């Protein structure tokens, strides 16, 4: 079984689900082939070479949305799982939002284990108190808060890590600038990448970057989170796996860290979902199906998610097992406008995403707003087939 959950809250979540599997299927050996690196940057490259060499893991982690449909389904690398959905009655408990994102031509291709929220602002409450700064709710309030913190001597009040975390930051600032409908329209072909609103979104992103740490490229997402816990930064924008990390290192909600939607994105839940697939010609097909059965079960999901920092994909969670943050995420998931994440595979296929990432790499170096917008528009125009 292949994933990128090797540490910092993530491995602990996976281990909790493996423990359920060990109870339900004591005779099956679980081989954990996880490859380290946040957001799967390294793991997905290793997976691609294994698939190319005809050496697939039995089951692997893939994001619901275009990552799944545009890559593994398009390349005919995974089996439809409708039979398992029928056997387990999953269509009754999985959210309607999710099924189309993991389906093609009435075939369902994966088992979602969770829903993560991407647009979360994490903050150190002591740092904010000392600076007299409130949790910002709009982009303007955010910039004012960052200015106040900087004026008070904190050079980099917003902690950031390696490039994918900059992409993550970018998508949340785009959502804040554009709003949910216009964000979604950029991906479904009805939006205009050359519009002045996109220019403004890029400008806001450039402005936010000014407050980030100079050593970002050398830091993981956990390192960036640690800067907030240590009071070396006030804020971090990261998916809610960050809470899994905060809890794992012993920090407590409310006193160690607080949270809110990324300023300007309140009422929107920018989501992603980790799901597991069944390889075509899986070397141990029955064992893989046993794993997928646990991954889709309420026992598996209620063991995994409270530790991982996500809410279950299933809608019948035992709420008593979840902490304060995750309960708030469950409520928001049920009431907010749901929009997809770019960095974590929902809205764009891999080739579109990789064009964007090349453009982003240049932008992080030169901050050329016009060139970046042209490159984003060109990447969209080159991806009409999605």
Residue 268 vs residues 172, 173, 194, 257: alpha-carbon distances, Å: 10, 12, 24, 21
Residue 131 vs residues 70, 143, 146, 211: alpha-carbon distances, Å: 47, 14, 10, 16
List 338's β-bridge partners, or say none: 269
Q: Which is nearer to ligand GAL, 4 or 246 (CB)?
A: 4
* 272 part of the interface to ligand GAL, by CB under 6 A: yes
Q: How far is CA 146 from the centre of its chain?
A: 24
* 94 part of the interface to ligand GAL, by CB under 6 A: no
Binding mask 273-292 for ligand GAL (x = CB under 6 A): -x------------------
Among 14, 21, 40, 332, which residue interacts with ligand GAL (rule: CB under 6 A)? 40
Among 10, 171, 248, 355, which residue interacts with ligand GAL (rule: CB under 6 A)? 10
Residue 92 vs residues 74, 96, 301, 327: alpha-carbon distances, Å: 27, 9, 16, 22
113's tokens:
């284990």
CB of 349 closer than 8 Å to CB of 66? yes
* 9 part of the interface to ligand GAL, by CB under 6 A: no
* 117 part of the interface to ligand GAL, by CB under 6 A: no
Provide, rounded to whole angstroms, the least separation between the CB of residue 148 and ligand GAL: 30
* 248 part of the interface to ligand GAL, by CB under 6 A: no
* 344 part of the interface to ligand GAL, by CB under 6 A: yes
* 240 part of the interface to ligand GAL, by CB under 6 A: no
Q: Which is nearer to ligand GAL, 38 or 306 (CB)?
A: 38
* 39 part of the interface to ligand GAL, by CB under 6 A: yes
Q: Which is nearer to ligand GAL, 118 or 282 (CB)?
A: 118
Q: What distance in Å separates the CA atoms of residue 135 and residue 31, rounded to the nearest whole number?
A: 43
Q: What distance in Å separates the CA atoms of residue 195 and residue 193, rounded to the nearest whole number?
A: 6
Q: Which is nearer to ligand GAL, 63 or 247 (CB)?
A: 63
Q: How many residues bind ligand GAL (CB under 6 A)?
A: 14
Provide, rounded to whole angstroms, the least separation between the CB of residue 312 and ligand GAL: 13
Which H or E run contains 117? strand 114-117
Binding mask 46-85 for ligand GAL (x = CB under 6 A): -----------------x----------------------
| C-alpha dihedral, 260 to 264 to 267 to 269, nearest 10° | -70
Among 60, 109, 241, 291, which residue interacts with ligand GAL (rule: CB under 6 A)? 241
What is the β-pairing status of strands 268-272 and 337-340?
Answer: parallel
Q: Which is nearer to ligand GAL, 112 or 179 (CB)?
A: 112
List 311's β-bridge partners, or say none: 115
DSSP letter assigned to residue 60: B
* 171 part of the interface to ligand GAL, by CB under 6 A: no
43 by DSSP, 3-state: which?
helix
List 236's β-bridge partners, or say none: 122, 159
Among 2, 12, 20, 38, which residue interacts with ligand GAL (rule: CB under 6 A)? 38
* 168 part of the interface to ligand GAL, by CB under 6 A: no
> What strands, in cross-sheet order, belong to the sheet with 235-237?
158-159, 235-237, 120-123, 258-261
Q: Which is nearer to ligand GAL, 79 or 240 (CB)?
A: 240
The residues of the shown chain that bind ligand GAL, judged by CB under 6 A, are 4-5, 10, 38-40, 63, 116, 221, 239, 241, 272, 274, 344
């Amino acid at each position: 079984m292949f994933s990128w959950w090797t540490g910092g809250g993530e491995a602990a979540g996976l281990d909790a689900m493996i423990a359920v599997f060990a109870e339900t299927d004591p005779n099956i050996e679980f081989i954990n082939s996880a490859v380290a690196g946040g957001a799967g940057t390294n793991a997905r490259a290793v997976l691609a070479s294994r698939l190319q060499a005809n050496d697939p893991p039995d089951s692997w982690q893939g994001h619901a949305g275009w990552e799944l449909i545009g890559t593994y389904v398009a390349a005919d690398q995974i089996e439809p799982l409708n039979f398992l959905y029928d056997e387990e009655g999953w269509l009754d408990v999985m959210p309607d939002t999710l099924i189309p994102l993991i389906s093609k031509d009435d075939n369902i291709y994966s088992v979602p284990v969770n829903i993560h929220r991407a647009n979360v602002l994490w903050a150190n409450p002591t740092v904010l108190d000392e600076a007299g700064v409130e949790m910002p709710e709009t982009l303007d309030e955010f910039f004012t808060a960052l200015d106040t913190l900087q004026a008070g001597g904190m050079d980099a009040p917003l902690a950031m890590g390696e490039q994918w975390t900059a992409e993550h930051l970018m998508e949340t600032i785009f959502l804040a600038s554009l709003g949910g409908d216009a964000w979604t329209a950029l991906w479904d072909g009805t939006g205009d990448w050359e519009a002045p609103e996109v220019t403004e979104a890029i400008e806001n992103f450039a402005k936010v970057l000014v407050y980030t740490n100079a050593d970002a490229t050398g830091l993981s997402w956990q390192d960036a989170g640690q800067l907030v816990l240590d009071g070396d930064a006030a804020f971090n924008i990261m998916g809610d796996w960050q809470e899994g990390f905060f809890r794992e290192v012993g920090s407590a909600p409310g006193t160690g860290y607080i949270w809110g939607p990324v300023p300007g994105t309140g009422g929107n839940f920018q989501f992603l979902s980790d799901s597991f697939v069944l390889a075509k010609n899986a070397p141990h097909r029955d064992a893989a199906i046993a794993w997928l059965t646990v991954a889709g079960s309420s026992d598996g999901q209620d063991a995994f998610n409270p530790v991982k920092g996500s809410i279950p994909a299933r809608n019948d969670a035992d709420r008593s097992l979840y902490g304060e943050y995750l309960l708030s995420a469950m409520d928001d998931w049920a009431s907010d406008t749901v929009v997809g994440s770019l960095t974590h595979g929902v809205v764009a296929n891999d080739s579109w995403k990789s064009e964007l990432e090349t453009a982003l790499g240049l932008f992080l170096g030169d901050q050329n707003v016009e060139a970046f917008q042209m490159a984003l528009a060109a990447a969209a125009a080159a991806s009409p087939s999605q």
